[in-house]
Amino acid sequence: MTDDHDSAEDAGHEPERETFEHDPIGHAEARAGMTVGELADEYGNAGVGAANLHEAVDVTEAMFDDDVTVFFGLAGPMVPTGMRRIVADLIRDGYIDALITTGANLTHDSIEAIGGKHHHGCVEAEGKTEREHDETLRDEGVDRIYNVYLPQEYFATFESHLREEVFPVLEAEAEESGPVSIERLTRELGRANAEINEREDIEEGPGIAAAASEHDVPIYCPAVQDSVLGLQAWMYSQTSSFSLDALADMTALTDLAFEAEEAGAFVVGGGVPKNFTLQTMLVAPGAYDYAVQLTMDPQQTGGLSGATLEEARSWGKLETDAENVSVYADATITLPLVVAATRERLE
């Protein structure tokens, strides 16, 4: 038995907590006239995804330092959904040192550069099932990317652009010295996009590939075959000496990782661009010092797209003391917020 005095004394003591830090949740303020940076700071007072997004701004700010080599992975329908200018501006303003993306994003980027447009659409039409709606779109020659439409004639224009402005230059190089690298293809694509955009006075900007070509930022597209760009390259290769060397880019990309004093990975979406970005450090002496990923894929499936950056640390892709955060939300929402808030702090 314990006497009443001991019981009262025990009741007056806080229990010992080894893992608890007194850091109370604040209540975020949302007011008229706030900047994006101020809103991101308010997110830091909150919990769950808001706290993660606030941390992503912190890590991105550190990553965008001049001494950090930034590898930017871009997967998913980022160009057709309207994220094109954000990435192009990051390249032009010196925040990206290497872009790893999909052939699909480069295809849609080029379509916009040469005069095509993506349009607001809908998933279902009134009075029709989703299937019936898509059957109608097919009959009308319109491709659907969730709630975005793209008229199919723009793909024909893109094919002509490649065959007239891009492939012949690379074919001549292939005749001289053999298959060209995929990075060489993307660089030539950017040059041609910029040239046509200016010559035809296209209202939309020349875009991502053009910005990269102009500022000597390499674009790596390891799964280029998985796109309309890749299909067109394959078809052109059937009747010409033009061909691509899928392994040629590995040396330049690895050299960039080797030479980096510090390295950062900013990964939008998953798939091949994410893995290609992260695996680069497996053959470098160091690993990523900073990493941010924006994804909607859950980690519980064991797939690469949703895998945490902590998991990547176990592979040696991130330094043990790397600053990293994953934000699980639609990247068309999170990418503009993170970039705008970061740029507000830096500029």
Active site residues: 317
Residues 6+ apart with CB under 8 A from 102: 74, 75, 221, 223, 226, 227, 271, 272, 273
- Phi and psi based region of residue 43 (left: phi greater than 0; alpha: psi -120 to 50; beta: remaining): alpha
- For 190, 257, 296, the CA distances from 106, given in Å and listed in that order, are 9, 23, 22
Contact at 8 Å (CB) between 318 and 312?
yes
Neighbouring-strand partners of residue 148: 120, 145
Pairing of strands 98-101, 219-220: parallel
Element (H, E) at 279: helix 271-279
Q: What is the distance between the alpha carbons of residues 235 and 307, in angstroms, rounded to a whole number?
A: 35
Locate 233 and state its tokens.
């390259």
